[in-house]
Amino acid sequence: MGTVMREISRRGMLGLGVGAAAALSVAGCSSSGSSGSGKVGAKPGGTTQSRAKPIGDGSTAYTGKQPKQPPKPEKLEPGQKPPQFVVFSWDGAAEIGNGLFPRFRKIARDHNASMTFFLSGLYLLPESKKRLYRPPNNPVGASAIGYLKDENIKATLKNVRAAWLEGHEIGTHFNGHFGGNGPGSVAHWTPAQWESEIEQAMSFVTKWRTNTGFTDLEPLPFDYSKELVGGRTPCLLGQANLLPTARKRGWRYDASSPGGLQVWPTKKQGLWDFPLQGMPFPGHSFPVLSMDYNIMANQGTGSTKGPSANYPAWRKQATDAYIAGFQRAYETNRAPFFVGNHFEQWNGGIYMDAVEEAIKHIADDKHKDVRMVSFRQLCDWLDAQDPQVLANLRGLGVGQNFTGRG
């Protein structure tokens, strides 16, 4: 389907920010994604290398090292101020005909940013083949987000391919997006069931040519078994049982935690934990999670089609929230700032406009040593650092100033 069904899940978020009151949070329950100073990310251009080696049925191909990647990370010296990392990520990562996927690829190029696109595997499976999907604890072929039309599958494939060549990361948002707290929810899946879900997601990505019959599209230019090193669960649920499976598969991070603080990340079960974070919410005494859906859920009735008269004020509030989250980190502890989004035109597209304005603000030349990177690129930098230097950074609380040199 060109449109997708949504589930709303309300969860409490406590103790976010400095002296913040308890805040209502909505887990993002929707899906349609250097070593020197300066901004490092994707750049224009990029084509499949000539010596592509098809994998399997030719849905994917090995084309060599990914283009547009930062140089090898340098180690911080003790007391040296770290760069300000910002990660923009997109859940679902489908092009459903609203032009948002190419729009934000262009914005990334214009502002030298790399991003992470969490692709839902089901978005490459035609509805006519839905019985190939066997979701844990749900009927065969079930999906809380529906299925895409053929033209949208093709558009998604073209954009995913181009995004990787432009230096972006392709992670996973798994498949059927089962939230809530019912028996079929991902909140109750076992490690073995997560293993099944991941294997199916990989199959839909690596066998799209067989499943769709499309012969007029080039392969995805990467080996997904090596490219896939992290994801975000539907509705930010089920991380505890996902992690043992993710670790066994050699993943490097997980971005499924809700209610995180703007502090330097730690590891859970050997994987970097990159949570959505509580950021200042202008006009309120409580914070809001750093996701478009959560901002929307805390504005008025939380409707995707609220009164249009409210759009200008809501757009400004969303923009100011993203900017406030960035500025707090940039001016104090330099903790990486994580933002999650969806390619959706909720409330007239105001949240997409807010994300664009935030990116422009972050990329301004007055902000020195800012790096808009993917989660995978952030892992590379973190893994290259001295553990004690990172431990010292983790000792800085939300809004606590960095006092080292630099």
Q: Which DSSP letter does residue 220 get?
A: B
Residue ranges per structural domain of the chain: 10-46+85-394
Both tokens assigned to 30: 């929707």
The per-residue pLDDT string of the chain (406 residues; one tens digit each, 9 = 90 and over) reads: 333 333 233 333 322 332 232 233 445 565 443 333 334 443 334 445 567 999 999 999 999 999 999 999 999 999 999 999 999 999 999 999 999 999 999 999 999 999 999 999 999 999 999 999 999 999 999 999 999 999 999 999 999 999 999 999 999 999 999 999 999 999 999 999 999 999 999 999 999 999 999 999 999 999 999 999 999 999 999 999 999 999 999 999 999 998 899 999 999 999 999 999 999 999 999 999 999 999 999 998 788 999 999 999 999 999 999 999 999 999 999 999 999 999 999 999 999 999 999 999 999 999 999 999 999 999 999 999 999 999 999 999 999 999 986 4
For domain 10-46+85-394, give the CATH number. 3.20.20.370
- Run of H or E residues at 363: none
Full DSSP string of 69-96: PPPPPPPPPTTBPPPEEEEEEEEE----
In this structure, are residues 75 and 130 in contact, taking their beta carbons and an 8 Å threshold?
A: no
Both tokens assigned to 120: 């839902």
Those residues with Cβ within 8 angstroms of residue 395's Cβ, 6 or more apart along the chain or in another chain: none
Q: What 3-state DSSP class applies to 56?
A: coil
Please state the pTM of the whole predicted model: 0.90
